[in-house]
Each structure stands twice: as structure tokens, then as C-alpha cells.
Amino acid sequence: MRKTILTCLIIMGSASAFGQVVADTLRKDALKVFMEASDYIRKEIPWVNYVRDIKDAGLYIISTSQNTGSGGVEYTYFFIGQKENEGMRDTLRFTSSPDETAEIIRENEVKTLKMGLVRYIAKTPLSKYMSIGFSEPLSETVSTDKWNSWVFKTSLSGYASGEKSYRSSYLNGSFSANRVTEKLKSSVSLKYSYSANKYDVNDEVISSEYNSKGLSGLLVGSLTDHWSVGGSMYAGASKYNNTDLSLNIQPGIEYNVFPYSESTRRQLRLTYKAGFSYENYIDTTIYNKVKENLLSHSLTISYEVIQKWGSADVSLDYSNYLHDWSKNNLSLNAFLNLRITKGLSLNFGGGGALVHDQLGLVKGGATQQEVLLRLRELETQFEYFTTFGLTYTFGSIYNNVVNPRFGNTGGSGGMTIIMH
């Protein structure tokens, strides 16, 4: 009896060991993929190796996103093979609607990634374990869009908070109508915001009130895959900017060195605008104006690129008033994310501006209360900001396992979707 039990244990142990060897062999033969993968992706697509360094991968995936005219988001995935998959490239997309939940979006993300991975998995020993199916019947007709591509969105939000020496309230509302097609992009939006704060300091009451409202519109037509022409308008009022009525109309033209079809990966856009503005001020300005008509123009150069080494976003903008070219503004903003070496990434950014176009400054200046609470635009000749970050990861090149027990301190949250 003991001999029989011992024999069974040996057979079971051998089978278990054999199964472990097979599983380990499959894991070693699995496609090595470098990408920003959430816990959800690693759980739903477990038959690849998620490596931490791009140099170890046979495939790297770059993911980007951009807003659509309907208020949704278009997600694009660039599959770029290297090593054994050198020369293989694919681009897949899916678009979410504004009413879709995060669960639906991440399900579609996984579905799109699975489709893109198929032909790369086909070159590995794991291909014999794959199967492909199609779940829905095809319709022979497409229903007509009763909204003719128009999308409307409205929102209203507010809050109130307080304690013994402090009270605050805020209200914000907006309405927008957008229509985006391949040839024409148009939008109209209406916004209003109001905030009030009250402080009790040493038996002295300090209060502030701020409100702004604005109506803006945009109309852009596509000329070619590189050229577009259009214009924008704005009408509004802002206590902070000392305007009782501000009206601005600016037609413009834009050239993209790269085709607009590649906009999710790279853009180099030159945009020129020129137009008219009318300003009716709340208080007399430092130039003794209560209202004025102005002509101005601007030139913007924007460069955006996403590659396996990281991403870059640089924008240079110049504008001035035509009646006095010394009234100008020059700004530069740049953001850079670099993968320096295995496990090491660096990101930094910043921006600055030379400001010489503050025509609406109040003649009497700002009170101490208005300065501290930033209720008025203050005179300045420059402004700037900086940001910096460094990340280093080392250890095993594989990153396949997800373990959510006792929280997710060892990795990203199980319910988090990483979008790029």
C-alpha cells in the first residue's frame, strides 16, 4: 500500500514538474513587449512578456490619444517590431464616445491590442494556442446620422465651503456645440464662472469676488493634408482683466510640415493669425483708455513628436499690436520625456514669456487686498515655470504578474487605465 502511494506521489510530482517545465518554456518563448501597460492589460493579455526596457523587446508599442469632434477620444497604437520582428509595423485605432464608461474604454483598448499582437504572436511557438473569432453579424447598411455630426454638451457645477474664519463659494457653467468632419471643423462655446471668498482676520473682514463670462467660436477648413484655413472669435468680460466687454476676431492659416494623418505621432505646425479686437474697460487703464480698437497678429510654431526614446512638445508663440510693435508678447514652452538607458527615464519642462502687451492694466493700480487675492492683473515684464522628474527602475526584466492583495503599493492600481 505504501509502495502504491509512493508511486502515485512520484507520478503526480513528475506530472507537476513537467507541467511547470512546459509553462516555463512557453513563458520564455512568449513575445517580449515594451509598452506602458496597466494592471488590467497585463491580466487580460497574459501571453506576452512585458519587459521594462525597450532594448529587451521584440516589439514596442507607442500609444497616443486625441480628442474627437464628438467629445470622445481617438486612441492610436503604433506597433513597431525590432530584433526578430525588425521591419514589421502596424497602426491600430479605436474611438470612444463621450458617454462610454472607463470599463468600456479599457475593454476596447485590450481588444485593439489583441488584434495588433496577432501577427507578432504568429511567429512564436505560442501561436498554436491562439484562436480568432468574430461575434457580430455584419450590417449591409449604415444608418443616417440625424444630428449631422453635431455634438452638444452642457455642464453646471459649484461648491461651497467654510469654517469660522473662512467662507468660499464657486459656480461654473458651460455650453458647447461642435461639429468635426474631415473637411470642416466648427465649434461654439459659452462659459460663465463666479467665485466669492470671505476671510475674518483679526476682526477685519476681507472679501473677494470674481466673475467672468465668454462666448467663443472656431471655424477651420481643410485645404490639403498640410494646409488649413480658418478663424476664431471671442466675446466676453472679466473683472480680473479689467474688461467690461472684450471682442476679438482673428482669421488665420496653418501649415503642418507633416501630414495631418500623422498628427498622433508627430506635428510641426506653423500658424499665422491676424485680426481686430475691441476693448471696453471697467476702469481707466494706465494708457488713459476706457475703450479702444486694436489690430494685432500672431505667429505660433508648434512641434510634437512621440518616439521610442520618449516624447517632446515645444511651442513658440509671438504676438504684437500693430499700432505699436513694442506692445508684444514672446513665449516659449517645452516638455520632454526621455528614456535615457535601461530603467532610467527623465522628464522635464518649463516655459517663459516676455510680457509687454498688458494694455488693460488699471491706472490706479491694485490694492493690497487685490494683490494678495490675485483679483487684478498685475504689471509684469516676464513670467516663467519649471518642472522636473527622474525615475529609475532595476531588477527583473519581466513585468507580467499582477497581485492586488493589500492594495497595489507594488505597482499601478488594478482599476487604473493608463492613457497616452
Q: What is the pLDDT of residues 197-251, one digit of tens each?
A: 888 877 778 887 888 999 999 999 999 989 999 999 999 999 888 899 999 999 9
Last residue of a domain, one of 91, 110, 129: 129
Residue 236 lies in a domain: no
Residue 372 lies in a domain: yes
**What does the CA dihedral 238, 240, 241, 242 come to, rounded to 10 degrees?**
80
DSSP per-residue letters across 74-93: EEEEEEEE-GGGTT-EEEEE
Would you give the distance in Å from CA 226 to the centre of its chain? 23
- Dihedral sign for Cα 118, 121, 125, 126, please: negative
Last residue of a domain, one of 129, 146, 169: 129
Please report the pLDDT score of residue 23 as a whole number: 55
| Helix (DSSP H) and strand (DSSP E) numbers for the chain | 4, 17
Residue 201 lies in a domain: no
Backbone angles phi, psi at 98, to 5 degrees: -65, -20
User: For residue 301, which of 254, 350, 264 has the smallest C-alpha distance?
Assistant: 254
Q: Are residue 116 and residue 246 in the same domain, yes or no?
A: no
pLDDT-derived band at 124, boundaries 50, 70, 90: confident
Q: What is the pLDDT of residues 244-275, one digit of tens each?
A: 999 999 999 999 999 887 777 788 999 999 99
Residues 271/231, Cβ–Cβ less than 8 Å: no
Q: Could you give the number of structural domains in the chain?
A: 2
Residue 369 lies in a domain: yes
Residue 413 lies in a domain: no
Residue 156 lies in a domain: no
| CA 397 – CA 320 distance, rounded (Å) | 53
pTM (two decimals) = 0.65
Last residue of a domain, one of 113, 129, 145: 129
pLDDT for 112 beyond 80: yes
pLDDT-derived band at 183, boundaries 50, 70, 90: confident
Please report the pLDDT score of residue 396 as a whole number: 63
Residue 303 lies in a domain: yes
Give the residue with greater pLDDT, 223 vs 53: 223
Find the domain containing 90 and state its range: 2-129
Residue 102 lies in a domain: yes
| CA 26 – CA 19 distance, rounded (Å) | 11
